[in-house]
Amino acid sequence: MAPRSGLILLRKLSALIVVLALVAVACSSGSGVVATVGATDLTEADIGDFFESDTLPIDESLREAIFALLAREILLQGLGADFDLELDQTEVDSVYGDLIAQMEEAAMTPEDFLGVPDASVAMVRFNAEIGVIREQVVEGLIQQPETIEAFFSEPVAYTTVCVRHVLVATTEEAEDVLARLDGGEDFAAVATEVSLDTGTPGGDLGCSPAGRYVPEFAQASVTADIGALTGPIETDFGFHLLVVDERTAPTEEEVKADPQAHLTDADVNAIWTEWFNETLQTAEVTLDEKYGFWSSVGIIPPDRPDLVPTEE
């Protein structure tokens, strides 16, 4: 299992929800069916487990909880349908234990820890489950040929470069630096003397992912001949003369074996978000109208049926 980065807490998950109105109708956390996803029912008791109270109003918090629980079921069904996987309960237990330990160490209640009024420990476990689903989905998606192909289509995204540079303000200054370096002057000495990048003595930027640099510099760093003086390269910062001393990139097998070690957080989030949104958008959900109307971005309040998306 990959590192447990990017767990989606309920409040963060529900940030994807467009809450359009509030309704103040009391409901009991009994056993009545609230919604159905495929052959699975979501009951009032399921929702009640999320909260400490025995009686809950049908308000924003309740609709967020309903949406979160429905989303979890949809994602679980998608995990099985798309990857032939079940939720890794052993990993859930481990992540849940870590979250509880963090909560207890901070002397916080579930409500304080999650920022959700009246939250119970069941909501903490929910977050562990969503985090593990996310990791399993990302690991499944990265194995797919189209994902690998897209990843390797842009070298900047996966290449590590060791670069030195001299940054100046004008093309004339760049040409002067180029002449001095071609004439045999020491790179570090020239960089220390004239470079506008005073934060890197000698111009040595060290080794880092090419994607951390501005696009023009990043592209040059992955295409320049190793050890050759390259430039000037114009960016928003000025004009760069650079030397790439070393360049490394993972193989396809290495990426498949440990995707999270090679993908940036942005890569992982994009892969997850695309699958998440598509899975929710194609789900078939039946929801008791007293709670509102289902949409893939949230539960629409029952008094606003006009806001329910219509099929094209």
With a CB cutoff of 8 Å and minimum separation 6, the contacts of 229 are 178, 181, 182, 241, 242, 243
Band (56; pLDDT cuts 50, 70, 90):
low
Most confident of 152-166, 230-244, 293-307: 230-244
Q: Smallest Cα–Cα separation from 263: which of 172, 174, 135, 79?
A: 135
pLDDT attached to residue 5: 33
pLDDT score of 3: 32
177 touches 191 (CB < 8 A): no
Quick check: 152 and 202 in contact, CB under 8 A?
no
**pLDDT digits 0-9 by tens, 166-196:** 999 999 999 999 999 999 999 999 999 999 9
pLDDT of residue 57: 63
Q: Parallel, antiparallel, or unpaired: how do β-strands 285-287 and 238-248 relate?
A: unpaired
- Predicted pLDDT of residue 285: 94
CA distance 197 to 189: 13
Q: What is the Cα–Cα distance from 275 to 146, expressed in whole angstroms?
A: 13
Beta bridge partners of 208: 161
More confident residue, 118 or 95: 95
The structural domains of the chain, ordered by start, are 10-149+254-307 (1.10.4030), 159-248 (3.10.50.40)
pLDDT of res. 55 = 65
